[in-house]
Amino acid sequence: MSRRSTTCLRCCLVVFAVVSALAVCGPALYWRLKESLKLGGSSKPSCPLCTCECPPPLSLLKIAPGLANLSVTDCGGNDPDLKQEMEKQFVDLLTEELKLQEAVSEERVRHMNITFAEAKRAASQYQREAEKCNAATETCEEARERSEALLIKERKVTSLWELRARQMGWEGE
């Protein structure tokens, strides 16, 4: 490569680096410049200065003096339950955990069985009610069919009497 092309390549890389840096940092710089011009251009600030009369923060020693003493050597040494629990072996702890999980699962199964029995009882009650409703509907349908047949029969008799009355000279309404 010639010296001229190397210089051109370097210039291109420098221009590319500057453009990349402006593309990355440009928006943040733009908004910061815009905010500073807005604040500098106006005569009064957008909100008044805060006057804070807050008490100094409390130290950890004042809040909980026992926490500062981290050199506790016999933590829980006087508690027999804690001592007994700490002496248990890992297998004993796992066995105890499995027993607890089994008890929980048995309780869930019992609860599920009770819920299932209640659902079956409600379903059978709804089934009985539906059967009663169907029987009543069938009875009503049969009664409607009988009354419809009687009505047709009555209309035939009425038209027969009307025909006889017209034959005897009745002129109707």
Residue range 105-139, pLDDT digits in tens: 999 999 999 999 999 999 999 999 999 999 999 99
Mean pLDDT confidence for 169-173: 80
Specify whether the backbone of 23 is left (phi greater than 0), alpha (psi in -120 to 50) or beta.
alpha
pLDDT at 71: 54
**Domain span including residue 104:** 93-173
pTM: 0.35
**Confidence category of residue 141, pLDDT binned at 50, 70, 90:** very high
Whole-number Å distance between alpha carbons of 88 and 93: 7
Residue 161 lies in a domain: yes
Residue 74 CA to chain centroid, in angstroms? 47
Residue 103 lies in a domain: yes
Q: What is the DSSP code (8-state) at residue 45?
A: -
User: pLDDT exceeding 70 applies to what percent of the chain?
Assistant: 81
Q: How many domains does the chain have?
A: 1
Residue 63 lies in a domain: no
Of 131 and 22, more confident: 131
Predicted confidence (pLDDT) at residue 45 exceeds the cutoff of 70: no
